[in-house]
Amino acid sequence: MMIASLRGNVIEKSALWLLLEVGGIGYRIKASPAVLTAIRGDEEVFIYTYHHIREDAEELFGFLSLHDLELFERLLAISGIGPKVALTILSIGSADTIKKAIMSGNLSTLTSVPGVGKKMAQKIILELKGQIVEEEQAAPGDTDLFDALMGLGYSANQARDVMKYIPQEMADPSERIREALRFLSKS
């Protein structure tokens, strides 16, 4: 079972996490300083989550947008980057700021993150630059399809992979989603 999102009331916050009560159950969610600053302590919030399961622990990481969650998952796909480093990278700015740094090959922005040296920054740029270029060139309907698949609980990688097989001529968003779901059910 994967926890993909939560909606609830913020009970408590610290500098590194928030406690979100959903249906009487409290979820401790690690988040970037930007997310924690954006959330007031007395409101109901909706948070996209990444459920990280290890042999010795389970952790939830929270994001206010799908774009931040997707970038977090892309960073995790890079060998040597774990959830804590990926979250720290997201704390240096918005997903767009980080993507621009990657696209421009800006090593100094990435190496400003504690735990990311020159070699790791080069690896991030090398592995993600092509993916971001493809995303920038994607058709407008692809964003809607991607968001719909993520909302249905599919991972960013699954959504990106299936989008390659959906014909661009298929303009109706509901048709594109149905076709993607057909393809995903076969795999």
Domain at 72-136, CATH class: mainly alpha
Higher pLDDT, 141 or 129: 129
The region, left, alpha or beta by phi > 0 then psi within -120 to 50, assigned to residue 160 is alpha
> Tokens at residue 15, please?
């500098």
Q: In CATH, what is the architecture of 140-186? A: Orthogonal Bundle (1.10)
Taking the whole predicted model, whether its pTM rises above 0.85 is answered as no
Decide if pLDDT at 9 tops 60: yes
Q: Tokens 């698949």, residue?
A: 149
Q: Tell me whether the CATH fold assigned to 72-136 matches the one assigned to 140-186.
A: no
The string of pLDDT tens digits covering residues 44-103 is 999 999 999 999 999 999 999 988 999 999 999 999 999 999 999 999 888 888 998 898
With residue 44 as reference, give the H or E element that holds it.
strand 44-53
Give the model's pLDDT for residue 60. 97
The DSSP output letter for 105 is T
The domain ranges of the chain are 5-63, 72-136, 140-186
Neighbouring CB atoms inside 10 A of 91's CB total 16
Tell me: domain 5-63, CATH 2.40.50.140, correct?
yes
Inter-axis angle of helices 156-163 and 140-151, to 10 degrees?
140
Mean pLDDT computed over every residue of the chain: 86
Decide if pLDDT at 105 tops 60: yes
